[in-house]
């Protein structure tokens, strides 16, 4: 278990501990930060593992544009650099470090993945050069400036009227691994619209109530997970395309199957685990207690209009 759910105990709920240092991203300031003996570099390999022994090494050699300047934590400047392999590295989805280091890892994973995809201008096809400590790219041909892209995705703990949770297994996952339902928000779509569409398409579940819970960066390679709890019905047959199997689980079934190894739940570094753990201890918020739904209902009564 991860402890008390949905309180300010996770690094993405807090006032940022990582100062992105937007006022000091000019070449001179970054060069000075790189030359500071207190500055550190976080190493990240191509499998998204980061160095833990130690967490960060002193800056050394020449700064190059493919090294990202992440910002400052308690006055210390932090950079990120890609390496081929870190055999003893850690995956953020399995065992996250403390809050400040988690924010550093999330930023490093996202911006380094963007570096590898942002090689040419998407407008004119010209080559680009990285700027602002690796957090923007300037086209050498048309001079347009580009920034790291974030893809919004929804993830939801769907409960039925008996307080069972819907868990499903994607076709690409290892045997017995399961999680709550999730999917990407499409162009011109709200997160709530995407939620209804995804759970219906993938699991045949219809939703009668939806409540927003919070968000988490998930840089694999660049997602922002928007977490919800919802009330659902149906779900007797998954799509057998993206999902191989799925269904409603009681708490007793989850505990028994995880104990025997026939159900493997998400690692503690994910918001999926947070949703599932909150449900396991009976603390997942009730989806019917939706702030906007209450306000909208009152406005209809008072004005006779629906917004």
Strands annotated E in 205-299: 205-218, 223-234, 243-249
Separation of alpha carbons 183 and 225, rounded Å: 9
Q: How much is the CA Rg of the chain, to the nearest whole Å? A: 22
Split at pLDDT 50, 70, 90, the class of 52 is: confident
End-to-end Cα separation, the chain, in angstroms: 41
b or e along 146-174 (b: 16 or more beta carbons within 10 Å of the residue's beta carbon)?
Answer: bebeeebbbbbbbbeeeebbbbbbbeeee
Residue whose C-alpha is closest to residue 273's, from 216, 196, 209 = 216
pLDDT value, residue 137 = 97
Domain that holds residue 67: 22-114
Tokens of 88: 């003893």
| Residue 157 in domain | yes
Does one domain contain both 276 and 195? yes
pLDDT at 289 > cutoff 90: no
Does one domain contain both 157 and 252? yes
Does one domain contain both 184 and 234? yes
Residue whose C-alpha is closest to residue 119's, from 130, 105, 108 = 130
Does one domain contain both 156 and 251? yes
Separation of alpha carbons 280 and 285, rounded Å: 12
**DSSP state, residue 67:** S
Does one domain contain both 157 and 103? no
CA 294 to chain centroid, in Å, comes to: 29
| Residue 277 in domain | yes
| Residue 65 in domain | yes
Separation of alpha carbons 10 and 234, rounded Å: 33
**Kind and range of the H or E run holding 302:** helix 291-303
Separation of alpha carbons 267 and 274, rounded Å: 9
Does one domain contain both 212 and 159? yes
Does one domain contain both 203 and 274? yes
pLDDT at 304 > cutoff 70: no
Over residues 117-144, mean pLDDT: 97
pLDDT value, residue 24 = 96
Separation of alpha carbons 35 and 109, rounded Å: 23
| Residue 233 in domain | yes
Residue 284 CB-density burial (10 A; 0-12 exposed, 13-18 middle, 19+ buried)? buried
Task: Please say whether the dihedral angle defined by the alpha carbons of residues 185, 189, 192 and 198, taken in this order, is positive or negative.
Answer: negative
Over residues 138-165, mean pLDDT: 97
> Which of 114, 137, 160 corresponds to the end of one domain?
114
Does one domain contain both 86 and 194? no
pLDDT value, residue 5 = 39
| Residue 63 in domain | yes
Does one domain contain both 35 and 105? yes
| Residue 190 in domain | yes
Over residues 151-176, mean pLDDT: 97
| Residue 298 in domain | no
pTM for the full model?
0.88
pLDDT at 292 > cutoff 80: no
% of residues, the chain, pLDDT over 70: 95
Task: Please say whether the dihedral angle defined by the alpha carbons of residues 187, 16, 96 and 117, taken in this order, is positive or negative.
Answer: positive
| Residue 139 in domain | no
User: Contact, 114 vs 224, CB < 8 A?
Assistant: no
CATH code of the domain containing 230: 3.90.79.10
Residue whose C-alpha is closest to residue 248's, from 261, 235, 229, 258 = 235
Give the Å distances, CA to CA, from 277 to 115, 141, 215.
35, 51, 16
> Which of 114, 141, 159 corresponds to the end of one domain?
114
Name the domain count of the chain: 2
């Amino acid at each position: 278990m991860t402890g008390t759910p949905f309180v300010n105990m996770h690094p993405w709920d807090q006032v940022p501990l990582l100062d992105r240092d937007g006022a000091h991203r000019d070449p001179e300031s970054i060069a000075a930060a790189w030359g500071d003996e207190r500055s550190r570099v976080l190493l990240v390999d191509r499998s998204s593992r980061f160095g833990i022994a130690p967490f960060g090494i002193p800056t050394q050699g020449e700064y190059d544009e493919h090294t990202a300047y992440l910002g400052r934590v308690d006055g210390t400047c932090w950079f990120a650099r890609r390496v081929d392999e870190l055999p003893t590295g850690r995956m953020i989805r399995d065992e996250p470090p403390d809050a400040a280091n988690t924010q550093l890892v999330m930023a490093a994973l996202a911006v380094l993945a963007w570096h590898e995809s942002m090689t040419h201008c998407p407008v004119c096809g010209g080559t680009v050069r990285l700027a602002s400590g690796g957090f923007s790219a300037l086209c050498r041909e048309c001079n347009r400036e580009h920034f790291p892209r974030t893809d919004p995705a929804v993830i939801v703990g769907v409960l039925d009227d008996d307080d069972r949770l819907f868990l499903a297994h994607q076709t690409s996952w290892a045997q017995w691994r399961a999680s709550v339902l999730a999917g990407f928000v499409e162009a011109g779509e709200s997160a709530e619209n995407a939620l209804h569409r995804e759970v219906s398409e993938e699991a045949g579940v219809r939703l009668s109530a939806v409540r927003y819970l919070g968000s988490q960066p998930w840089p694999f390679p660049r997602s922002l997970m928007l977490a919800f709890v919802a009330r659902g019905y149906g779900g007797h047959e998954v799509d057998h395309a993206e999902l191989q199997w799925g269904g409603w689980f009681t708490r007793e079934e989850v505990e028994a199957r995880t104990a025997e190894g026939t159900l493997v739940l998400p690692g503690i570094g994910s918001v999926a685990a947070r949703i599932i753990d909150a449900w396991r201890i009976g603390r997942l918020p009730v989806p019917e207690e939706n702030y906007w739904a209450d306000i909208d209902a009152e406005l209809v009564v008072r004005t006779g209009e629906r917004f």
